[in-house]
Amino acid sequence: MPTHEKSASDKGTSHPKAAEMTIFEVLKQDHEKVRYLFDRIEKSGRKDVAALQKLFSQVEEELEVHMEGEERFLYTALERHEEPREKVLEAYEEHQVAKTLIGTFKSLAVDDERWGAKISVLHEIVEHHIQEEEREMFRMARKVLNKEQIQEITVQFQQHKREGRRPSRGAPVAG
């Protein structure tokens, strides 16, 4: 895969673009994507059931992969440190609340009036959570993690996202 964006002297990095971003920027990008999807859901007419269903599936997939990656690579690294520990424990709980709420959509039709109420609550929970991550957790993380750790977490998270994006063929995930 030829690339002319970087000089040939930049060796040792198989993904030059990925190497330029830190985990914090990668996560913020995900956050922006989810914000955008919620925005589109809220601006969509309630009658366009197919569009709402599709947007919700995207939110679900996006959040699932994002939360799992954060937990596996960022939170586990941070919870060992005293300062961010409390924030991280809260974040795990907020993820759990979001996952539980997402699970309740399965038995609910998009045109059920509770659907919109659930989306609003999910949006609020997620927005609160990502603000705490961006305003507090990432700041603490930059203090307690060194450059190499940040780079490793970034690479691991991006790898996880690539794997998570493979089409699932609708197979149920065993627990």
Find where tokens 């959040």 sit. Answer: 63
The whole-angstrom separation of Cα 147 and Cα 74 is 14
Tokens of residue 49, six digits: 């059931």
Residue closer to Fe ion by CB (options 62, 70) is 70
> Of 62 and 133, which CB lies nearer to Fe ion in the complex structure?
133
Q: Given the complex with Fe ion, which of 30 and 55 has the nearer CB atom?
A: 30
Note the Cα 58 to chain centre separation in Å: 12
In the complex, least distance from residue 175 CB atom to Fe ion, rounded to whole angstroms: 21
The residue among 110 and 126 lying less far from Fe ion, judged by its C-beta, is: 126
Distance CA 84, CA 158 (A): 22
Strands (E), the chain: none
- Residue 82 CB, nearest approach to Fe ion (Å): 20
Minimal distance in Å, beta carbon 172 to Fe ion?
Answer: 25
Report the nearest approach of Fe ion to the CB of residue 35 (Å).
11
Contact 153, 74 (CB under 8 A): yes
Chain residues in the site for Fe ion (CB under 5 A): 27, 70, 133
